[in-house]
Structure 1
Amino acid sequence: MKPFEKGLAAPITLAIAYDFDGTLAPGNMQEHSFLPKLGIAKEAFWAEANAIAEANDMDGILAYMQLMLQKAREKGVSIHREDFMDFGRDIRFFPGVEAYFERINAFALRQGIRLEHHIISSGLREFIAGTAISRHFTNIFASGFKYDDKGVAEWAALAINYTNKTQYLFRINKGIHNSYDNNLINKHIPEEEKPVPFSRMIYIGDGETDVPAMKMVRYQGGATVAVYSDHEVPRPGKPSQYELCRELVRHGRVDYIAPADYTEGSKLDYTIKLLIDRIRIVEELAKQR
């Protein structure tokens, strides 16, 4: 019987932070139903967004968000907050994702650990809020729009790119559940008072756009996992997602890799459970000093 089960220890909090696109769901979230609704090929949309960013020396996230609004207006597609949530309901996930959260929560609790799940994504928080899994997240830190008094999207309110993802790790670390409070995030908090030390964090992402966040978590003593699709269509002259993940391991940017399969007994499921076990063991050993 474990110490927690004997009533000798209170559960500790462990945070798992996830990227979204390519991590929990294949592709980019706009490609599931938003771009098809507009009748725009995904290749054409992203090429135009990248061209706008380059021509204006502009952040790529802001460029794609502005282009989404522009194209929707041109096509007469409604862009209320509820419309974006509806597009989120069409998102399909990697195998096992929808059943994963409750199952992994129950596993962790048996080890004396209370799990928090957080999203840190360059995608759109409105889309994610509309998905079948949104209720499992303590925070959805993702790009989002500002709305007018009629609920119509009019401007980018928040753009999360691959470098500023790292600030949201500190928000999780300090228990800050918003994107606007910059006073508390810069305030000194003794390590023992932080709700989630980095040593009790796991970051799961799909590749290069997650490198700064992964490096930060590893540097601070947490664990990182890079996932890849087992059903990727080969791209002539380009490395596969698996090869990119292996490269991240070789360069010391990520600890472990696994196919993006969240079903019970998969390599990813087993890896996450081992990390949960390891964190609990380290916490218990620290008490023996």
Structure 2
Amino acid sequence: MSNIIALIWDFDKTLVDGYMQDPLFAEYGIDNKEFWKEVNALPEKYEKEQGVRVNKDSIYLNHILNYVKTGKFKSLNNEKLNNLGGEIKFYPGVLELFPATIKMIEDNDIYKEFNIRLEHYIVSTGLSQMIWGSPLARYVDGIWGCDFIESINHETQEKELSEIVYTIDNTTKTRAIFEINKGVGHRDGIEVNSKLSEEMRRVPFKNMIYIADGPSDIPAFSLINSKGGATFAVYPHGNNEAFRQVESLRKDGRVQMYGEANYSENTLTYLWLKNTILDIADRIVAEEKAKLSPYVKPQPRHLV
């Protein structure tokens, strides 16, 4: 088993102040508040009109497709989403923290001796193409998000988004975490339902740190906590309502610690993440040394 430490991140309101789709709305001159207001009204609308239940986490994807069909998102395709991802604005320190934490482990000779590595993953209900297009993607080992496929618009002869093919919601985030645990995408033939003993899993849960912003991530927080991993919640600077929300999560035992969504060096959030990573790495070293101790015999010495 590889000695991998995994930081698993939510995206919206965790790494960015707001929603990743903001550059998309700006590109097309769409009022983002009006868009989300329309999205929030859809579950009740469809239940009343058609008697169906709606997944509140992913219904916005259908609304994006409606905007494509009605020309509000004219000729929107995956390439454009990817390009717009380059305009996502991150919280302070995010783009520095990711490579710094990787280097912190890589540059330590003891950690190197025991093949300890650090990887970053993003598990988001947002758009994976936008995340892949962001400057953060170069530091990320895997992204779980929502995806569309395209078709040709016969009027414009251009590619445009046409169908939803993959979704992540706040419950299926736990599936993504199990896939990281087992090494899906890193090991050929391994799927989420593959039966693997704990020692054969690529990233042990106890080597995971999950970082997110609120109650919608409770299933993921609960999974990581129950398996011996670490959990951390963030809130925007000066936002009292968000502060009370993460404090409630701490009181309820949902998260182990929280701090402002500022990842700059020497902030509380930076220091907690840094030291939790080092604690995990040191524990791995101790475990590896304990495995070797039965085979290490004392060196012969001269008798006095």
Q: One fold, TM greater than 0.5?
A: yes
- TM normalised by structure 2 equals 0.83
Q: Does 1:83 align with 2:74?
A: no
Runs of 4+ in 1 over 6 A off after TM superposition: none
Contact 2:2 2:203 in 1 (8 A): no
**Secondary structure at the residue paired with 2:59?**
helix
Which residue pairs with 2:68 in the alignment? 72
Superposed counterparts of 1:215-254, under 5 Å: 215-232=222-239, 240-254=241-255
User: Could you tell which deviates more after superposition, 270-279 or 212-221?
Assistant: 270-279
Q: Work out the CA distance in 1 between the residues paired with 2:57 and 2:36.
A: 11
Which residue pairs with 2:276 in the alignment? 275
Q: Work out the CA distance in 1 between the residues paired with 2:91 and 2:238.
A: 10
Q: Work out the CA distance in 1 between the residues paired with 2:58 and 2:171.
A: 14
- The count of residues paired between Structure 1 and Structure 2 equals 270
Alignment root-mean-square deviation, CA? 2.1
Superposed counterparts of 1:1-289, under 5 Å: 12-31=3-22, 33-56=23-46, 57-74=53-70, 75=72, 77-109=74-106, 110=108, 112=111, 113-148=116-151, 151-177=159-185, 184-232=191-239, 240-286=241-287, 287-288=289-290
Matched residues, percent identical?
31
**Secondary structure at the residue paired with 1:61?**
coil
Q: Structure 1 189/104 Cα, relative in aligned 2: closer, same or farther at 3 Å? A: same
Which entry has the higher C-alpha Rg, 1 or 2? 2
**Superimposed CA distance per residue, residues 40-72 of structure 1 (whole angstroms, 9 cap, x where no aligned partner):** 322221121122123222112332111112223
Q: What letter is aligned with 2:43?
A: A
Q: What letter is aligned with 2:275?
A: L
Q: List runs of 5+ in structure 2 lacking aligned partners.
A: 47-52, 153-157, 292-304
| 1:207, distance to aligned residue in structure 2 (A) | 0.8
Which residue pairs with 2:302 in the alignment? none
| 1:130, distance to aligned residue in structure 2 (A) | 1.0
| 1:212, distance to aligned residue in structure 2 (A) | 0.6
Contact 1:69 1:79 in 2 (8 A): no
**Secondary structure at the residue paired with 1:133?**
helix
User: Could you tell which deviates more after superposition, 184-193 or 217-226?
Assistant: 184-193
**Superimposed CA distance per residue, residues 87-140 of structure 1 (whole angstroms, 9 cap, x where no aligned partner):** 211110000111211111111232613111100000000111110111111111
